[in-house]
Every structure is written in C-alpha cells, then in structure tokens.
Amino acid sequence: MASDDQSSLKAVPNVQDGIEYWNTQPASYDGVLDQAGTVRGVKTLPRIDSLGSRLFLLHLYPDLSTVPSSIRPLQPELPLRTRALDVGAGIGRVTSDVLLHLVSDVVLLEPVKPFVEEALARCRASASSGPLQKGQRPWKGMADGTKSVTILQGTLQEFDPLNLHRVTFLDRIGYQPPRPLDEINAGFDVIWCQWCLGHLSDPDLVNFLRRSHASLREKEKGKSVIVVKENLCKDKEDGSARTVFDDQDSSLTRSDMAWKNVFKEAGLRLVMEKVQEGFPAGLYAVKMYALR
C-alpha cells in the first residue's frame, strides 16, 4: 500500500523488508518490470525502455557509438576498455540490453539471491553458447570473449564502487584481463541506476551518489556519467518535493523536485534529463537524469 509523505513522514525504506519482498517475485523480465511500474503482458516495454536508455546514453557519451552516425566523433577518444556499473541490476536486463551494446566491461550488482543467480545463469549460458530459454537472447560479447561481466551480490547501502570488500564476488565471465590487479579501483565510465534507488533513504542515497561520483573516470574531460532512471510521482501543488512510501516493497517514489534536491545535496551537477517515451498511459512517469 502506498502512502503520501504527509501521512508517512518517518517512513523510510528497510533493506531487509525490500529484499524479502523481491524474493517472492519471479526471476524474469515480467517479475522485475511489473513492480517497477510496468504491466505484465506488455511485451514491448523492455525493448522501448532499452532503446530509450541507449539513445540517452549515446547523446551523453557519443564516443560510445559503435557505428558511424551524426553524433559519433570522427576520432572517438575512449580508454582502451570502457567500464560500466549496473546497480540494482535484477536479472541483468540493463546489462544485456543496454550496456553490453556500448561498453567493454560491466560490473553487475544485485542484492536479491534469485535475481542475481538468474543473471549469472544467463551470462554463463551466453558465454558457453549453450541453450537459452525461450525468448532469451545471448549477451553480447560473452561467447567470443570480447566483453566481460563481473557479477556481485550486495546492497547499495554498503556498496562502494572503489572498494568491493563489502559485497560477494560470484564470477567474472567473458574477457579476462592479462593483469587483473590493474582493474582494482579502476573506476567507471558509466554508472547506471534504474528502478532501485527507491530502496534507499535520502541519507543513504546521498552517500551512495557521492561514492559513485568519486569512482567516475575521466571526470576532468566531462565524459563519465551517472545515470538515474526512476519512476516519478508528482510534485506538490506548490512545486515542492513529494515522496510516496510503498510499504509492500518498502520503497520510496520521489517527485522530480525530490530527486533534484537529493542530487544537489550529493554535490552532483545535472547535465541532462528526459522523460522516457512510449510507455502506456496510467503508469508512473519514468525519467532519466544524467549527473556529473
């Protein structure tokens, strides 16, 4: 049951309550998307969402474009291998449908055991060229070893992108670097946060965003970026921030101003924002924010 912040002033997300809720949901696209504000049975939503995400990221970081286009620089300036972090990653939908199409290496973090185990199974099946379940597509770059996915289990409240000792390492699949130690504290070019930050209180969220910003590579070049893609409730009538607490999964839905207040407190600069188009009417609006 959802309740407005006026009636739930002290209600804050509880990590264990949220994990216990998601443990009851199926480890599938329907399972992870349904409670994110989408609708079971609307099969086009994952594709609409992933295409919107890819286009947003390419406008922010056109060097990541893999084909000649009007936005790609004539001489892209990229590190030898580009790195992305996908947090609250569920079964790896954003990793497989968005990030692996644009970057070399992805680190995937998810706290819910059935979800992270499903992500691990899908990634391993892609790498082995083994049979995939009906409707699943192989993860790009796994079979030929040109890309990699590192899978971690842990919560955002404890996670530091530069210090991974508070999470559990499950596997690295695909490309193996000749000098693995070189990737310790290597940082990230892209940090993607989608449909998961509602499980953090404002103080936890501010701290996580600060840690994330510290882990961005090439900040001085203005390329590396944090992307937040989340549901929005409406601001209050006077334009001030509003939150809605859902005690079913112990999460907060924030309004546009509530998100921007958090970003400001974290010391981040909002460089681009866009509402996801193409979703059915009657759902929460979904908005993408780019932060540096």
Residues 6+ apart with CB under 8 A from 49: 276, 279, 286
Q: What is the pLDDT of residue 179?
A: 87
Q: What is the pLDDT of residue 41?
A: 47
Tell me which residue of 155, 126, 157, 158 sits closest to 143, measured CA to CA: 126
Tens digit of each residue's pLDDT, the chain (292 residues)? 666 765 445 689 999 999 999 999 999 887 777 644 444 445 678 899 999 999 999 999 998 988 777 677 767 777 789 999 999 999 999 999 999 999 999 999 999 999 999 999 999 999 997 677 777 889 999 999 999 999 999 999 989 999 988 899 999 999 999 988 888 889 999 999 999 999 999 999 999 999 999 999 988 778 899 999 999 999 999 999 999 999 999 999 999 999 999 999 999 999 999 999 998 888 899 999 999 9
Q: What is the pLDDT of residue 219?
A: 80
- C-alpha to C-alpha distance for 160 and 179, rounded to whole angstroms: 22
Residue 200 exposed, middle or buried by CB count within 10 Å (0-12, 13-18, 19+): buried
| Beta carbons of 120 and 142 less than 8 angstroms apart | no
Separation in Å, CA 274 to CA 14, 42, 163: 29, 22, 31
Task: Give pTM, 2 decimals.
Answer: 0.92
173: β partners: 149
